[in-house]
Amino acid sequence: MKEKNKKEDDLMEKIVSLCKRRGFVFQGSEIYGGFAGTYDWGHLGLALKNNLKQNWWKKFVDNRRDMYGIDAAILMNAKVWEATGHVANFADPLDGKQFNTMLKTEVGAKKEEVAISYLRPETAQGMFVNFKNTVDVFHPKLPFGMAQIGKAFRNEIAPRDFLFRQREFEQMEIEYFVRQEDWEKHFEYWKDEMLDWMQDLGFDMTKIHELEVEKKDRAHYSKRTIDFEFDYPFGRKELFGLAYRADFDLINHKLEYIDEEKGEKIIPHVIEPTFGVDRAVLALLLSVYVEDNKNGEIRSYLKFKSNIAPVICAVSPLLKNKPELVKYAENKVFRLLKAEFGRVVWDDNGNIGKRYRRQDEIGTPFCIVVDFDTLTDDTVTVRDRDTGEQERVKVTDLKKYIQEKI
């Protein structure tokens, strides 16, 4: 057991250290000693996070006809949080008393005009308060959904475990509005959609577990909740959630829906798939981190699928002090690939071995090297991250070669 815990602790340390060393995630306000529960995203972490969010948006919004996006303000009228019960109940136990974990702030300059507001603790309410706007503008037929990606804030009593429990984090949420009698069918459908997305992104599905949340642990309005848990090194804990919120929110906000065809007024019921962006990144990193032994040398790499990898390929001239190699690599390879794939970097730092190790660690699927043979035969070396194997490919076939692989 001790042995296993040590290994798991080591893994977490390796991920945190890789994130810092390679520019994925830094401690928040680091040069001032940090600020608990906050992290800053570096160039590559940001690329990874953006890919993940874009991928989510594409699947759940762009590729559908029944989903409406929204980007609501983080600061909302405090009445929103009174109506939902957050002001009274959004609390965790602390020393025997309940501690409200909403981050309170004052808005306005003149004393008499100052209003109390809260940094939203979830993105969900930004969708409910825009339910009427969305229905009035787009006239959607049931079932339909609203989707939002954005920051959420919670004054967590004990932020911990790197990206897992922070005070400022990001959520991707859907509120899917259905007729009451259909909720079970839609719940099953969304469960499969969530699993499908996780699979497509490359989460280690053997580490994902569905937990049927018991009645005593569910929000009082929810008739069914599933937590998707992940085997983190620090234990099996929540990654994402799927909840049946019934008509709780629309009733709280005194909202209703008119079926224009039937001329009937109803209060739709809500299925809510919710995804934490930061926990998704952490679980992904833990899913794709691999160590292998190549010729007696331990190598670590991130086996990202290309739909999510921050960089798809790195282009290098074999030697950076040979202008003819640099010119060829830049004009005939880098520009071509950059225009096609976008996520392409130039890497001429250190020797080739070092460049490969660096690109392996950030999870770049392909490294392309321009050498002296290139100048005579217009072929380049393409090295595969996972196998370490190298192939000579004609520059004219390069785009197609990579397209096929990804």
Q: Which residues bind ligand ATP (CB under 6 A)?
A: 122, 154, 156, 165-166, 169, 171, 238, 240-241, 274, 276, 278-279
Return the sign of the alpha-carbon dihedral for residues 160, 165, 168, 169.
positive
By C-beta, is 277 or 362 nearer to ligand ATP?
277
| Least distance from ligand ATP to the Cβ atom of residue 235, Å | 11
| Least distance from ligand ATP to the Cβ atom of residue 165, Å | 4
| Least distance from ligand ATP to the Cβ atom of residue 212, Å | 14
The answer to whether 230 touches 237, Cβ cutoff 8 Å, is yes
| Least distance from ligand ATP to the Cβ atom of residue 280, Å | 7
| Least distance from ligand ATP to the Cβ atom of residue 225, Å | 9
Q: What angle do CA 70, 165, 299 make, to 5 degrees?
A: 105
| Least distance from ligand ATP to the Cβ atom of residue 16, Å | 15
| Least distance from ligand ATP to the Cβ atom of residue 28, Å | 13
Helix (H) or strand (E) holding 227: strand 224-232
By C-beta, is 235 or 350 nearer to ligand ATP?
235
The answer to whether 369 touches 346, Cβ cutoff 8 Å, is no
By C-beta, is 279 or 355 nearer to ligand ATP?
279
By C-beta, is 169 or 334 nearer to ligand ATP?
169
| Least distance from ligand ATP to the Cβ atom of residue 117, Å | 20
Q: How far is CA 234 from CA 26, 83, 162, 307, in A?
A: 20, 36, 11, 28
- Rg over alpha carbons for the chain, rounded to the nearest Å, is 25
By C-beta, is 143 or 241 nearer to ligand ATP?
241
Whole-angstrom distance, CA of residue 153 vs CA of residue 81: 14
Collapsing DSSP to helix, strand or coil, 320 comes out as: coil
Whole-angstrom distance, CA of residue 383 vs CA of residue 40: 32
- Phi/psi of residue 65, nearest 5 degrees: -105, -5
State which residue has the least CB distance to ligand ATP: 276
Whole-angstrom distance, CA of residue 311 vs CA of residue 86: 41
Residue 235 CB-half CA count within 13 A: 5
| Least distance from ligand ATP to the Cβ atom of residue 125, Å | 12
Collapsing DSSP to helix, strand or coil, 71 comes out as: coil
By C-beta, is 157 or 319 nearer to ligand ATP?
157
By C-beta, is 140 or 202 nearer to ligand ATP?
202
Q: How does DSSP classify residue 32?
A: G
Collapsing DSSP to helix, strand or coil, 386 comes out as: coil
Q: How does DSSP classify residue 293?
A: E
Whole-angstrom distance, CA of residue 128 vs CA of residue 126: 6
The sheet carrying 313-317 orders its strands as: 344-346, 313-317, 366-370, 379-384, 390-394
| Least distance from ligand ATP to the Cβ atom of residue 121, Å | 8
By C-beta, is 219 or 336 nearer to ligand ATP?
219
| Least distance from ligand ATP to the Cβ atom of residue 309, Å | 22
By C-beta, is 91 or 393 nearer to ligand ATP?
91
Beta bridge partners of 153: 168
By C-beta, is 238 or 330 nearer to ligand ATP?
238
Query: At which residue do the structure tokens 């994130």 appear?
Result: 19
Q: How far is CA 342 from CA 313, 334, 338, 339, in A?
A: 9, 10, 5, 6
Whole-angstrom distance, CA of residue 269 vs CA of residue 288: 37
By C-beta, is 49 or 279 nearer to ligand ATP?
279
Amino acid at 42: G
Beta bridge partners of 68: 146
